[in-house]
Structure 1
Amino acid sequence: MSSHQHVVTDDQAKNRIDKILSEINPENSRSQIQTWITKGHVTVNNEKVKANYKCLMGDKIEWTIPETEPLELTPENIPLDIVYEDSDLLVVNKPKGMVVHPSAGHGSGTLVNALLYHCHDLSGINGVERPGIVHRIDKDTSGLLVVAKNDYTHTNLSEQLSSKDMKRKYEAIVHGEIPHETGIIDAPIGRDPKDRQKMGIVDQGKPAVTHFRVLNSYPDYTHIECQLQTGRTHQIRVHMKYIGYPLVGDPKYGPRKTLDTNGQALHAKVLGFTHPRTNKWLEFEMEAPSYFKETLNYIQKMY
């Protein structure tokens, strides 16, 4: 561990401690710094504080940067369904059940392990553990992802993502019959204060907007299409639960009694963006996997 200290200046006073430390340590993310604070690696005037502590002029901040043990990323010969590829990027159809990038408990078998075997030129913006990963979809969500091969492409695609210029449409099957054809859910998403493993609708959360339209409805289920205006963690799953129509098969946000789909019935079916190098609009569509169609057939036969 390396130790550091800093005395809060007049300009920095009244700012949150995690904000001040993120400005002093630009190579570390805000979430990493918040983890340091939570784990007691940060003190103010020799006392532990919370990440939202607002500093006063003259406060003495002391912190130690814990040594991280980087995950060893091993290229693995895992089949990839590559929809498009050029020298700047790939578009991949991720199967249900595959984790996007390595993390504690998922050191192998991920999309990143497969990508490292397939190509050696992935962008490094998201660090060694997430090379090329511009955006993610959950383990049990299938569908389209774009992967950057260089930092220029990664930066450009990330900007399109944050400026809402990237087009992302999903198909989902939810519990309950939605009585109207379209809807917009506008509710902020953040960590559920009662369960840190879940996201929830939180007043201080990040803005989140989901547009949806009904494709087919049945007495107890609805087949919908969702378009993301923002891309928060578990956004569609949380938003649909919030309005009373949780996703079929969702172990985290769905009802206890649901259909056996081994995870949420959610598929990223449309992905569109402007190619960073050519400035041409690229749009891809991938039909839902067999389990999704079989679930729909099963529902149709019930009525």
Structure 2
Amino acid sequence: MAPNDLPDGALPPEALPERDLETFDITLAHEPADARLDRFLAARWPSHSRTTYQKLVRDGRVLVNDEPVTKPSAQVHKGDHVFVTLYKRRPLGIIPEPIPIRVLYEDEDLVVVNKDAGIIVHPARSNPHGTLVNAVAYHAEHLSRVGGPWRPGVVHRLDRDTSGVIIFAKNDAAHARLARQWEDRTVEKEYAAIVEGVPQLDADVISEPLGKDHRVRERYMVHRGAGGREAHSRYEVAEAFDGFALVHVWPRTGRTHQIRVHLAHIGHRVVADRQYGSRDKVMLQELARGQADGDEVLISRQALHAAGLTIRHPRTREVLHFAAPLPEDMARLLAALRRWRAPAG
């Protein structure tokens, strides 16, 4: 078995200490209800999924009558002795929770999710429940351990109120290779933002170093002195309105709050950004200038969405592009802008 095929991205079973392995074995006293090997294993030992058992079989880690069987479809019968060796499922530092998620892509190395706004990516001791990691841990059988017990699988992050594409690694090898792409800045990230005002330039690159704003907790600012870290964001105006614009942003670096701070710095704050904007929600009546019926809240969180992400697959090196459509609140705001704030002429 090649090292890259290992589910844990580490050592083959024969190189691991016994405490890191577990074994199952049984001699069939009766004909099984389903004689297909992978289905028999999943029914007999349901602590692991049928997909996991299929991989174990293909890797030669399932013996029938002391001989490795490499086809999940192989048949087992009364009197057969079945022996399985597999990695122990190390306990997570978090509790898997059945929170619904929208999976854009999944394979043995990674799971790509369309994150909802309003959910934190990973837990902490002070906030151990209700995060995206809790949800992904419930969905996926394995997550990488590189980030520690509170951040299993977390390769990169999105702010609580930013929606869109986010990737989780299922094993340590995939995590390391994905993290290297972020370090080397070979990942292409595309965001959609609705901002206040219309930028003077239809396209530009904002290159301003960022650092903590020590006057306000958990806030960042353009910081050209000591402690500022280089940050680059390319943007294009996709659609202009009366007093607003839809922009696409491609951050070259990945500083905390980078897009929000850069856009605010050039005078075009993200709509409904509680930390850097001028309001925490947008009402229909405000956009319609009193001409619309009702007083609907169009959006009540920052209008920022991770619309696309392009990486190389950590195992195959194939270029993969993942896209997430605009969420309902941003689409609703955009529709209202097109109706009520179309530019003159």
TM-score of the superposition, structure 1-length normalised?
Answer: 0.74
* 1:301 CA displacement: 2.2
Deviations 1:242-270 (A, max 9, x none): 11000001000001475252210001011
Paired AA for residue 255 in structure 1: S
Paired AA for residue 293 in structure 1: A
Deviations 1:11-61 (A, max 9, x none): xxxxxxxxxxxxxxxxxxxxxxxxxxxxxxxxxxxxxxxxxxxxxxxxxxx
Say whether residues 1:135 and 2:173 are aligned partners: no
* 1:189 CA displacement: 1.1
Aligned residues: 233
* 1:210 CA displacement: 0.3
Secondary structure of the equivalent of 1:158? helix
Q: Partner residue of 1:289?
A: 327
* 1:121 CA displacement: 1.1
* 1:83 CA displacement: 0.6
Q: Partner residue of 2:166?
A: 145
Q: Partner residue of 1:96?
A: 117
Secondary structure of the equivalent of 2:178? helix
Say whether residues 1:274 and 2:297 are aligned partners: no
Alignment of 1:174-189 (within 5 A): 174-189=195-210
Alignment of 1:203-218 (within 5 A): 203=224, 204-218=227-241
* Conserved 8 A contact 1:141-1:265: yes
- In 2, the alpha carbon distance for the partners of 1:298 and 1:104 equals 41
Pick from 90, 99, 124 the counterpart of residue 145 of structure 2.
Answer: 124
Stretches of structure 1 lacking an aligned partner (at least 5 in a row): 1-70
C-alpha root-mean-square deviation of aligned residues, in Å? 1.5
- In 2, the alpha carbon distance for the partners of 1:114 and 1:107 equals 12
Instruction: State the identity %.
Output: 39
Q: Partner residue of 2:248?
A: 225
TM-score of the superposition, structure 2-length normalised?
Answer: 0.65
Say whether residues 1:194 and 2:232 are aligned partners: no
- In 1, the alpha carbon distance for the partners of 2:126 and 2:195 equals 29
Paired AA for residue 115 in structure 1: V
- In 1, the alpha carbon distance for the partners of 2:126 and 2:335 equals 35
Paired AA for residue 332 in structure 2: E
Stretches of structure 2 lacking an aligned partner (at least 5 in a row): 1-91, 283-296
* Conserved 8 A contact 1:99-1:106: no
Deviations 1:147-168 (A, max 9, x none): 1011111111111011110111
* Conserved 8 A contact 1:122-1:148: yes
- In 2, the alpha carbon distance for the partners of 1:296 and 1:277 equals 39
* Conserved 8 A contact 1:132-1:150: yes
Secondary structure of the equivalent of 1:211? strand
Deviates more, 1:130-139 or 1:179-188: 179-188
- In 2, the alpha carbon distance for the partners of 1:206 and 1:302 equals 40
- In 1, the alpha carbon distance for the partners of 2:199 and 2:258 equals 18
Paired AA for residue 229 in structure 1: R
* Conserved 8 A contact 1:191-1:199: yes
User: Structure 1 pair 73/175, CA: closer, same or farther in 2 (3 Å)?
Assistant: same
* 1:120 CA displacement: 2.9
Paired AA for residue 265 in structure 1: A
- In 1, the alpha carbon distance for the partners of 2:142 and 2:118 equals 25
* 1:137 CA displacement: 0.4
Q: Partner residue of 1:31?
A: none
